Structures are given as C-alpha cells and as structure tokens.
Amino acid sequence: MRAIPLTVTALAAALALTACGSGGGSGTNSKNGSACEIGTVSVQVGSASVAPATGDTGEVPVSITNQSAPCTLDGFPGVTLKAGGASVTVATQSGAKTGKLKLAKGDSATFSVSYVRGKDGDKASFAATSMTVSLPGGDATQSFPWKYGAVAGKGSAEKVDATVSTFQQAGD
C-alpha cells in the first residue's frame, strides 16, 4: 500500500516542477529568458507605404531590435487594431510559416502589416486609431498611432482586410 502514496507524491512533485517557470502565452518560455519580450527589445514602426485611396493596399513595417541577452522569436507577432473601445486582431498571412529566429544583443528582425484601405465613415471599414504589437511567448504589448486611414472590412468592420507577416532577420 505504500507504493500508491509515493507514486502520488512523485507525480505531484513532477507537476509542480513542470509548472515552475511557465511563461504563459504561446511560443518559447519567457520566464527562463529565452523568449524576446517587449521591454527587452525596442519596437519601432518604420516609414509606411500608405494606401492612398479606398481599395489600395498599404504596408506598415515594424522592426524589433534586441537590447538585452540573446532571445528567440518563436511564432507570429500579434497585432491588434483599435478604435475607441473596439479592437480587431489582424490575422497572419495565409500560408505563412514561422520558425525560431534567434536574436543576439543588437540583432534585429522585421515583420509587416499589409492592409487594404477602407472608405472613411463606411460601416464596413474599421477606423483604426492605434495598433498594438505583442511578441510570441509574452503578454506585454506596445501601442503605436495608426495614421494610415480606415482599414477595409471583409464583409464587416469586425474582420479587417489586413494581415501580419512572419518575422524576417534584418541586417546582415
């Protein structure tokens, strides 16, 4: 009868150890220092190729530079567009595949947000005023102004005609 309490105790200990250091979110475990996190990287929105008129496509580049210990981007960036109290999550590019991208201190990566310009004031367009960026494996976000006009909806403003690309190594 003594084997059951030891087995239960061992199982409980194994589960407790597994739970330690859980970083939450998806992707690489952030608590052991391997996932790139907002706060240890700089995030900048570059000069956009703005869609000039309704129906045109624009592209907003985002760059990430590691400011700390080596880290890994393992997954897709998260992008949410916001307008007032409403928000919509931008989908990843259809067919895009991601892999692990390791960044040493000073290394950079980029991704882009492609969007179709919507008609200002149209119910089927999302009048975004800001864009929030998150990295895989972490919960922190950073917000940037959206100065590129309304984003076309796919049937309604709740699903925007915009996509996020995968991370690409920048520089060398």
For residue 83, give the DSSP letter: E
Task: Please name the residues in contact with 7: beta carbons below 8 A apart, sequence gap of 6 or more.
Answer: none
What pTM, to 2 d.p., does this model score?
0.77
Query: In the block, which residue shows the tokens 């067919």?
Result: 95
Q: How far apart are CA 3 and CA 170, in angstroms?
A: 56
80 by Cβ neighbours in 10 Å (0-12 / 13-18 / 19+) ranks as middle
- Beta bridge partners of residue 140, listed in sequence order: none
Distance CA 43, CA 116 (A): 23
DSSP string covering 62-96, please?
Answer: EEEEE-SS-EEEESPPEEEEEETTEEEEPEEPTT-
For residues 11 and 57, the answer to whether their CB atoms sit within 8 Å is no
List the chain pLDDT tens, one digit each, 172 residues: 444 443 333 333 333 332 333 233 334 344 445 899 999 999 999 999 999 999 999 999 999 999 999 999 999 999 999 998 999 999 999 988 888 999 999 999 999 999 999 999 998 999 999 999 999 988 899 999 999 999 999 887 789 999 999 999 987 5
pLDDT at 51: 95
The token pair at 92 is 């990843």
Per DSSP, 155 falls in state S
* Geometric angle at alpha carbon 31, from 29 and 37, rounded to 5°: 80
Q: What is the pLDDT of residue 83?
A: 95
Please give the pLDDT value at position 172: 59
Q: Please name the helix (run of DSSP H) or strand (run of DSSP E) that holds residue 15, with its range, or none.
A: helix 3-19
